[in-house]
Structure 1
Amino acid sequence: GSGVTQTPTILWELKESDALMNCSHTKDSSYYQMYWYRQLPGEGMKQVVFITPSSQPDYSGEFSKDKFSARKAVAESGSFTVKKLETGDSGMYFCAVSEHSDTDNKYSCTKTPVFQQDVIYHV
């Protein structure tokens, strides 16, 4: 395996609620760089944010802290939140970690599908 674990594995949330995902790895502390990506249905994967324990989140392109939150206090784990879910936020969210090195850029990835739903169904 990749040594990277993302929880939850599937996330169903109500509209206007927040979707929180966690990512951790069992690699050594040199893997302190974390990336979060989003893939909407029918589209390619886009990088949302890059973060390290010593930096503020670095958002890409159209993505901003108004909609997304990334936290990372230690090398081995971090979290990502999609705020105030809308229908258009349903998709696949990927966590990846990489090792900072002058000679190599090893990389591991995992994912969580997120579904916004308008009602909760009770069985």
Structure 2
Amino acid sequence: MDNIKHGLISLLLFLDVSQTDILWKDQGDNATMNCSHTKGADYYQMYWYRQLPGETMKLIVFTRLGNNNHDFGDFSKEKFSATKPDAESGTFTVKNLEPEDKGLYFCAVSQPHSGTINLQG
């Protein structure tokens, strides 16, 4: 196996959301990034995004506290995993790194949104 170093760069999205700055890992390794925030326990939904060089940003996984069946959409649970141990933190892992995994990874948090819309005419 080639000993290729991969830089997975993560981005600080908001001043009150912090995450792993940069990871250098070997091909075949797993890369785990941490995210935490100080917005309060009401912000228990977490999103992990990826932007590969020359491509647009894509949502990989949506997580929320109390639900271990995270929504990976079109992405493989064989390639990615996530944890949400509490309202103010979470982790995201890229498994079995390959050269094409190099990119920008970042998290964002939100409160749940109400399903009710009040339209007044």
Query: Structure 1-normalised TM-score?
Result: 0.78
Of residues 15, 18, 23, the one that matches 1:5 is 18
Q: Kindly report which structure 2 residues correspond to 1:1-123, keeping only aligned pairs within 5 A, or say none.
A: 1-7=14-20, 9-55=21-67, 56-61=69-74, 63-102=75-114
CA distance in 2, matches of 1:57, 1:80: 11
Which SS does the other structure have where 1:57 is aligned?
Answer: strand
Pairwise CA RMSD: 1.3
Gaps of 5+ in 1: 104-123
Moved beyond 6 Å, runs of 4+:
none
CA distance in 2, matches of 1:58, 1:45: 17
Structure whose CA Rg is larger: 2
Aligned residues: 101
- Counterpart code for 1:79: T
After superposition, the C-alpha distances for 1:74-101 in whole angstroms (9 at most, x for unaligned) are 1000000000000000000010101124
Gaps of 5+ in 2: 1-13, 116-121
Identity percentage over the alignment? 57
Cα drift, residue 54 of structure 1: 1.1
